[in-house]
Amino acid sequence: MRLDERESDDGWDDPPGRAPYVDFAWGRTANPNTVDGELQNLAAFGNGLARLSGPRRALAKTVVWLLLIGVVLTVIYGVLGIVTTW
């Protein structure tokens, strides 16, 4: 038996042509607990967002904008808190 004909250890054959997602900016999958892994997760999120269309895309864009506005307001609140304590 050739190595490529062998069944996997769990008894299930992997579907042909299916490979794990690899972001080719790195050429490999990264540990999600590292900076590389987080960047790959952001890239995968962006790719998924770019494929959306219609009302789902509008909803996803709204959520992203709300998150960005929340981050900006948090930074402004923090800066004002630092400035007013002086």
Evaluate whether residue 3 is within a structural domain: no
Residue 62 belongs to a domain: yes
pLDDT digits (tens, 9 = 90+) for 12-52: 555 566 656 655 555 667 777 888 888 888 888 888 888 88
Place of tokens 């900006």: 72
Tokens 């790959």 sit on residue: 40
Q: Into how many domains does the chain fold? A: 2
Specify the 3-state DSSP secondary structure of 63. Answer: helix
Confirm if 65 and 55 have CB atoms less than 8 A apart. Answer: no
Q: Indicate the range of 30-39, 56-65, 72-81 predicted with least confidence.
A: 30-39
Regarding whether 18 and 47 lie in a shared domain, the answer is: yes
Instruction: Look at residue 1 and tell me if it is in a domain.
Output: no
pTM above 0.75, yes or no: no
pLDDT tops 90 at residue 74: yes
Residue 45 inside a domain? The answer is yes
